[in-house]
Amino acid sequence: MVKRIYDERNRLVGREWTREEFMLGFVGDVGDLAKLAAAAEGARRIPGWRPALEYELSDCLWSVLVLAHLHDVDLAAAFFRTMSELEEHVAVSIERARSAEGTA
């Protein structure tokens, strides 16, 4: 796993990253991702944005997986539970909007 390699490297240079440091690294990666997403939409000029976008998406996903592991979160279970809740919430919102259209 890539995290183990980072941990080993960090031990050699002094210490492993804390959960907070992983989170701060993730926030920085999300900022980079936002710039690349803007480039994909033509709002920024970044040469070679496509491979960089793929890299940052993968890097962000890795960070989320590491953070879930560090916080003992069953990410697969949480994901499916959250998607189910969101689906139900959106379905209710659609029904309310349709009902409001019918009364207007």
Report how many domains make up the chain: 2
Task: Output the pLDDT for position 88.
Answer: 97
Specify whether 19 is located in the same domain as 60: yes
Tell me the C-alpha distance between 44 and 22, whole Å: 27
Is the confidence at residue 7, as pLDDT, over 90? no
Tell me the C-alpha distance between 26 and 13, whole Å: 21
89 or 5, greater pLDDT:
89
Task: Output the pLDDT for position 16.
Answer: 82
Specify whether 13 is located in the same domain as 35: yes
Is the confidence at residue 102, as pLDDT, over 90? no
Is the confidence at residue 24, as pLDDT, over 70? yes
Task: Output the pLDDT for position 104.
Answer: 63
Specify whether 63 is located in the same domain as 85: no
